[in-house]
Amino acid sequence: MWKLPGLIIWAIYLILLEQEISMKALRILGIAVGLVLALLAAGIGVLYALFDGEKIKAELSRAVLEQKQRKLDIAGKLELSVWPSVGIKLGRLTLSEPGGNAEFLALESARVEVAVMPLLSKQVQVQRVEVNGLKAAVVKKKDGTLNIADLLGGDAEKQKAGPGAAPKDVPPGDTGSTPLRFDIAGIKVANAQFTWRDEKSGSTTTLSNLDLGTGRVQADTARQTLEVDALAFMAKGKSGADAFELKLDAPKLAISPEKAGGESLSLAATLAGSGRTVAAKLVLSGVEGNAQALKIGKLALDLDARSGETVVKAHLDSPVAANLAAQTVALEKLAGSIDLANPQMPMKQVRLPLAGNLHADLAKHTATIELATQFDESKIATKLRVAKFAPLALGFDLDIDQINVDKYLPPKAKEEKPAAQGKLDFSALKGLDVNGAIRIGSLQVSKLKLARLNAKLSIAGGRLDVAPLTLNLYEGSANGSLSLNAAGNSVVLKQNLAGISINPLMKDLADKDLVEGRGSVALDITSHGDSVTAMKKALGGSASISLKNGAVKGINLAQSLRDLKGTLGAASGKREDTTQQAKAGDKTDFSELTASLKIAHGVAHNEDLAMKSPFLRLSGAGDIDIGGGQMNYLAKASVVASSAGQGGQGLDQLKGLTVPVRVSGPFENLAYKIEFGSLVEDVAKAKLEEKKQEVKAKVEDKMKDKLKGLFGK
């Protein structure tokens, strides 16, 4: 029994011994912590003692000036903080352009934090980077170099070569620079502004209210790895008169030589200008692969654009295959649709399904796109070829079996002034480099009905040339060329029309019912101006027409001459000129009509009109004012026979006379005036001549009788 108390005493002893050991351990730990804190305090004290902000500012400014020939100015003091992380904060900073005082970059404030504990192991681990009020302007000079070439570590020749070009003295596969490795817990850029200016083109694009935020960012250029968490980017800006906004979200992105992937990435953009808005969203999902090759399960693009009453909505999607080493991208199965709506269109809305593919070689700056669609009775296929990205050089082939463009266009407002309808501006041709071919089986546009249209198109130097341009129209064919030039907003048209039925052509082209017949028309005209009205007034060049078996509309000369026959009196009688308006249904038939025109300042002058019919010959001279929309023309009709055909019956009395007919007034209301003054004079002369012939005949008869008596015969 005595053993039990002994065991209890032994246990108590062991417990007391353990507590003593624990107390010693706690004391040792406390001493260690105290030493660490003391060391940290000493380190902080030394750090503060050694930190000389003014000296650091001076050294930085000196180094930048010596190495980059730029002036660095840091206003205010550099502030040092040591807990919970070591950080340096600076106030306003400016950096000049190379070799000058002009400001290139400025920021309101910035802060860089590094983790404390890694410093004990002589490792610098950036904890966070914050930048506020950053402003920078990147300029592409006229010689192709950038104003940041020195900061990028490249020479002028490399900058001209463009991104991805290696220096001449660096072997292939060698970047020529020290590998970069960083691990940042977070980056925040707030209220930044970025400006891009191209001195050669004169264009300027500005990004303002730019915000960038990320979670952890890890990169190692030696291992070619990049990992980004929670990337968010937002910016607003202006390009010309248009305002735009960009938003980028990428929850997670990881790229390495072995594997690449990430959650869905989305990019949204909006554009707002005068009377128009555009909203677009791009989503990439199912990203996988490695640093050499990348596959995207689905690329989806949605577009919503509005201009006035017109609304365009589009959707495109496709899987994507990219070879990052070769810098190629392929979208093999492009599919989607475009919806076009306008309350003024006859059908209000039309949908175009799309199918095709895209291949791009970013290293060679080339790409090809094939798209096909079908809607209503139309089948359309196009192939685009990009020969160069910047400046853009584009080639294309467009095939359309049949299309009625008028069916999809809003009707023109009747009250709209012609000048407002025909505003012209060819400045969009500037800066374009385009070559292509267009083939259309059947086309209706602005009421014109065309078939088998073939055209070769070229745009360069602000000029559009369409040559050759061939097509069939109105029972005939056309062959020629068309040129538009942004310099002076000018146009040159050369066309030879053969076998054309002229009446339906003029009705559809100009809504004029003036002449019938079939034949040839030759045009060689030039013009310039910023509206249809100005173009008409500036027309110059030449034209000719040759028609057979037709008619002049609005007047029946045969009937007018029959009515005239009963009014003719004595030579001395006075007659007033007779004027009549053009009448629908009246016409003067002809078997042949030819004329040539010289055009200057919008006025076409003719002096060689020749029209023939079995009973009539018509000549004439005068002006057709195309710019003013009116004419003043004197035609002279001569009765040559009394054929009953083509309305010539009953004109025997007028045989040999020339009847002057003046055509004048606006095209919409032409008037035909028979000028009696000249006609009566001709009649008097004709009667006098007739009297002379009668007297002469009587004298000759008497002389014959006398001669017979004289010679007894």
Structure-block tokens of residue 327: 């810098």
For β-strands 393-404 and 434-445, DSSP reports them as parallel
Three-class DSSP category at 485: strand
Rounded (5°) CA angle 301-261-236: 45
* pLDDT of res. 19: 55
Greatest extent of the chain over all pairs of C-alpha atoms, in Å: 211
| DSSP notation for 490-544 | EEEEEEEEEEEEHHHHHHHHH----EEEEEEEEEEEEEE-SBHHHHHHT-EEEEE
Closest alpha carbon to 338 in 312, 363, 318, 320: 312
Taking CA atoms, 606 is separated from 50, 257, 307, 662, in Å, by 99, 79, 46, 14
Structure-block tokens of residue 570: 């004595």
Query: Contact, 458 vs 435, CB < 8 A?
Result: yes
Q: What's the first-to-final CA gap in the chain, in angstroms?
A: 207
Q: How far apart are CA 640 and CA 557, in angstroms?
A: 13
Amino acid letter for position 549 = N
Residue 681: Cβ within 10 Å count:
11
Residue 273: Cβ within 10 Å count:
14
Residue 519: Cβ within 10 Å count:
20
Three-class DSSP category at 227: strand
| H-only helix segments in 154-244 | 156-161
Beta bridge partners of residue 399, listed in sequence order: 381, 439
Query: Contact, 472 vs 452, CB < 8 A?
Result: yes
Q: State the Cα torsion 63-69-71-77 to the nearest 10°.
A: -10
Query: Contact, 402 vs 378, CB < 8 A?
Result: yes
Residue 301: Cβ within 10 Å count:
16
Structure-block tokens of residue 349: 């809305």
* pLDDT of res. 677: 58
Q: Contacts from 633-639 at CB under 8 Å and sequence distance 24+?
A: 633/606, 633/662, 633/663, 633/664, 634/660, 634/661, 634/662, 634/663, 635/609, 635/660, 635/661, 635/662, 635/663, 636/660, 636/661, 637/557, 637/561, 637/661, 639/561, 639/615
Q: How far apart are CA 11 and CA 521, in angstroms?
A: 127
Phi-psi region of 399 (alpha: psi -120 to 50; beta: other; left: phi over 0): beta
* pLDDT of res. 159: 45
* pLDDT of res. 609: 92
* pLDDT of res. 156: 44
Provide the whole-model pTM. Answer: 0.65
* pLDDT of res. 183: 80
Q: How far apart are CA 713 and CA 709, in angstroms?
A: 6
Q: How far apart are CA 221 and CA 231, in angstroms?
A: 20
CA 523 to chain centre: 30
Closest alpha carbon to 680 in 580, 581, 563, 577: 577
* pLDDT of res. 166: 43
Three-class DSSP category at 203: strand
CA 637 to chain centre: 54
Taking CA atoms, 564 is separated from 576, 596, 674, 680, in Å, by 12, 30, 9, 11
Structure-block tokens of residue 60: 């930085």
Q: Is 234 exposed, middle or buried (0-12, 13-18, 19+ CB in 10 A)?
A: middle
Residue 438: Cβ within 10 Å count:
18
Q: Which residues of the chain have pLDDT under 50?
A: 1-4, 26, 29, 33-34, 36-37, 40, 43, 46-47, 50, 154-176, 415-420, 569-573, 643, 645-646, 648, 688, 695, 699, 702-703, 706-713
Phi, psi of 77 (to 5 degrees): -95, 150
Domain boundaries defined on the chain: 46-160+179-240, 289-411, 415-538, 555-586+601-713
Q: How far apart are CA 612 and CA 594, in angstroms?
A: 9
* pLDDT of res. 698: 53
Q: How far apart are CA 680 and CA 246, in angstroms?
A: 84
Q: State the Cα torsion 342-343-345-351 to the nearest 10°.
A: 50
* pLDDT of res. 399: 96
